[in-house]
Structure 1
Amino acid sequence: MKIAYVYDAVYPWVKGGVEKRIREVSVRLAERGHEVHVYGMRCWDGPATIERDGVMLHGVCPGEGLYIDGRRTVPQALRFGSSVFRPLLASGADVVDCQNFPYFSCFAAKAASMRRGTPLVVTWHEVWGDYWYDYLGRRGAFGKAVERLAAGLTDHHVAVSPSTARALEGLGVAGPVPVVPNGIDLSRIAAVPPAAEEWDVIFTGRLIRDKNVDLLLRALVRVREEVPDLRALVVGDGPERPALERLARDLGLPVTFAGFLPDYDDVIAAMKASRVFVLPSTREGFGIAALEAMACGLPVVTVDHPGNAAGDLVVEGVNGFCSGLSAGEMGEKIRAALDGGALMRDGCLRTAGGYRWEEIVRRIESVYGRSVGDVSSEMWEEGV
């Protein structure tokens, strides 16, 4: 098959969960004999189309920042959505897989797929629903309406977590929606040695409001009362970083803000040199960093929230803990994970073992095959 992926940000120039999923899946699909193309912003120097690890990357418009004041910008999403239509129309793809966010590209992909008579698969990493009002205030009604319209663009949807699949059915998508989760490269993770510098607590991710790293910092104040020599590492960058660094100083916390590390193996090495991974986010469509931490043998402390699919990965006391949104409770869960981490190591590794990329790729390949077959059947019945 000739497969086209659509997402504005491209790995490794932008390092996030969606970008990483597309990269890992596309490279493995290419190894299995498929022709794979990724259409995004041109985040790199040089020609608009380049080959990387057997996958063709197409920069359909100049790269630009994704966030202003911690929020995804509508003008950027519109520019990318309008720019991707013609390249998709000329792509010759057998199937197009468009990531649901930031939505406008889904409509462009739908128009191109209709013109070409090829199936459109929309992969859903999150469903925001009423969260749109928290994100945009009264303008959230517009975002919520666009999300519902995007859910009606195709009959071929994929959800990356069970909670996202359930939320899609709430948008009117006929179920059951196939769940194809994110995965991890267990052999690569196993081969990475721990970093030389050790940490008690680690967080990795974009420093945006919904990650709630401020909650983690306040929780560490409680932990430090019983662990005076506590050391914490925050890996990542984003608009919240200056405020978080100020808060850490005001709280007198020994927290190191490392920014984005230059290589994926560096992140894994830092995890392996840590004792507990904390993900206080209330907006996670899957929680790949939590799964990677489990693959490193780290218990995960995350929050119990309907918007946080990482909670689906956690079995209480077996591979981590779920906390409420209070610093006191999160501090208690972090202490429990620090105390019981060695006993939970096997549970963490067992959980991670169920998410190998090789199995994920076989599942997504099956979804694409069914979608192509469905469109071919429809065209046959219509006499096309």
Structure 2
Amino acid sequence: MPLVPRSVPRRRGDLRVLFVQGHLRENGGLRVVNALADRFVADGVRTTLFALEDVGPDEQVGLPGAAVAVHLGASASLPAARRLPLALARLVDVARDHDVVVSGSEIGHGLLAASLAARTLGKPFVVLAQGDLDAALEAWVPPKLRAVTRRVHRRADAAVAVSPGLVPGLVANGIPADRVHVVLNGVDVDALTERATEPSPVTFDADRPSVLAVGRLTTHKGFDLLLRASARVRAAGHDHELVVVGEGPDRGALEALRTELGADHVRLPGFVENPAALLARADLLVSSSRTEAMPLTLLEALALAVPVVATDCCEGSRLLLDDGRHGALVAPESVDALADALTAHLTDQRPLRHAAAGGPSFARGLDPRRLARRHLELLSAVARRPLPSFAPLPLGTADPRTRSGQDPTLGTNA
């Protein structure tokens, strides 16, 4: 994929934001960054997305809108010894024309490169934390890079966590508490509802209940647990179809498990560009994750009033499901708990459908426009640059569970 620079008119002195990603591979974190970049531009802020590596079209997430400048560091086909230095040199060159450098993840080469570029140029550096730092370090970061990753966090000018449950881990790893802020993820309910009306390349079997799971095929998503639970429930006489949408390194293991279980009712169709069109038609969404932060798919299910079963694996899931008022929360790492919840829903769908009915109203309270503006206010303060004048927005609905009584869409310090 070629370099795609796009010019954006701006006033002299206004804030200029650079997001840095390790790659453009499909995942919820990158979708959050893309959405923020689009909203920053809509509010008159020059915004650039820089990815160290390109990926194949079958794994690439949809890029931000035409107003966001997108740069690629180097092709993934190059040897690492050539690829990373080349990407870093290009990143430093792009960062010169920006006021603040933001890593879109709490770990990875994108984080390390963003920090190095910011320090090289004397630019403020901010981390967007979208997962539990300790869990991410253990699962994804090679031991030789864990110390430097923690050091990068300690030196960050600010960290923005997408869930209050991520704050303790950030502080425990050395970020001063006064530099940590919380701004929840949001969803544009109207835009999502419109996308949900589009045709889907994947369809459900109309003759039996449909159960959907969405995410990268990785261990932390717990799809192996879900396949075992689903097979057990079907063997007990509760017929249904399970569709797991996504791509990732665990595909081979999951296909082998499906064969081992004789689970011919399970489909793994791979990456789907618009999962909302399938989600809206599902009888149930299951989030079987071992770890999460603020699951975007749960929020999208709420916005579309789709019944939900989710593992109680993080504060973000509890917040979104309002301690079980908007969907069923079950014990993590438990095939039994998932099987019991599936059996209950397939026996009587009315309780979870009733719980899901309040989802759209709750989701509208997490207005992504207000969330993006809170991000911009924080970045403006860190970079000491002015913001453009914002058009007024309607007030959002405060989350009744907010401990301090403050509207969570406005963010908080730790």
* TM-score normalized by the length of structure 1: 0.82
2:66 maps to what in 1?
53
- Specify the code of the residue in structure 2 equivalent to 1:42: D
- Secondary structure of the residue aligned to 2:232 is helix
How big is the shift at 1:8?
A: 1.7
- Secondary structure of the residue aligned to 2:23 is coil
Distance change in 2, residues 1:78/1:5 (3 Å): farther
1:193 maps to what in 2?
197
Quick one: percent identity of the two aligned structures?
26
- Secondary structure of the residue aligned to 2:339 is helix
Matches within 5 A, 1:84-123: 84-91=88-95, 92-123=97-128
How big is the shift at 1:124?
A: 1.1
Tell me if 1:270 matches 2:278: yes
1:290 maps to what in 2?
298
How big is the shift at 1:241?
A: 1.4
- Specify the code of the residue in structure 1 equivalent to 2:366: Y
Q: 2: distance between equivalents of 1:26 and 1:131?
A: 24
What RMSD in Å do the two structures reach over aligned CA positions? 3.0
Q: Residues 192 and 276 of structure 2 are in contact (CA less than 8 Å); yes or no, is this contact kept in structure 1?
A: yes
Q: Residues 320 and 337 of structure 1 are in contact (CA less than 8 Å); yes or no, is this contact kept in structure 2?
A: no
Tell me if 1:300 matches 2:305: no
Q: 2: distance between equivalents of 1:52 and 1:81?
A: 28
1:5 maps to what in 2?
19
Q: 1: distance between equivalents of 2:31 and 2:258?
A: 29
Per-residue CA deviations over 1:22-73 (Å, capped at 9, x if unaligned) read 111111211221111111023479xxxx9952111101111369xxxxxxxx
Distance change in 2, residues 1:166/1:79 (3 Å): farther
- Secondary structure of the residue aligned to 1:355 is coil
How big is the shift at 1:244?
A: 1.3
2:45 maps to what in 1?
34
2:271 maps to what in 1?
260
- Secondary structure of the residue aligned to 2:19 is strand
Per-residue CA deviations over 1:202-253 (Å, capped at 9, x if unaligned) read 0011111111101001111333255532111111111211221232233232
2:218 maps to what in 1?
208
* TM-score normalized by the length of structure 2: 0.76
Distance change in 2, residues 1:188/1:167 (3 Å): same
Q: Residues 311 and 322 of structure 1 are in contact (CA less than 8 Å); yes or no, is this contact kept in structure 2?
A: yes
Match of 1:371 among 366, 375, 382: 382
Match of 1:153 among 152, 155, 158: 155
Aligned length: 352
- Secondary structure of the residue aligned to 1:178 is strand
Q: Residues 276 and 301 of structure 1 are in contact (CA less than 8 Å); yes or no, is this contact kept in structure 2?
A: yes
Distance change in 2, residues 1:132/1:120 (3 Å): closer
- Secondary structure of the residue aligned to 1:350 is helix
Match of 2:227 among 210, 217, 221: 217
Runs of 4+ displaced beyond 4 Å: 75-82, 130-136
Distance change in 2, residues 1:107/1:245 (3 Å): closer
1:83 maps to what in 2?
87
- Specify the code of the residue in structure 2 equivalent to 1:163: G
Per-residue CA deviations over 1:109-137 (Å, capped at 9, x if unaligned) read 3333234332111111123326645667x
How big is the shift at 1:101?
A: 4.2
**Unpaired segments ≥5 residues, structure 1:** 66-74, 376-384
- Specify the code of the residue in structure 2 equivalent to 1:38: L
Distance change in 2, residues 1:357/1:133 (3 Å): closer
Per-residue CA deviations over 1:159-215 (Å, capped at 9, x if unaligned) read 111111221112122225211222222112222228663552100111111111010
- Secondary structure of the residue aligned to 1:148 is helix
Distance change in 2, residues 1:76/1:160 (3 Å): farther
**Unpaired segments ≥5 residues, structure 2:** 1-14, 58-62, 387-414
Q: 1: distance between equivalents of 2:112 and 2:248?
A: 28
1:314 maps to what in 2?
321
1:70 maps to what in 2?
none
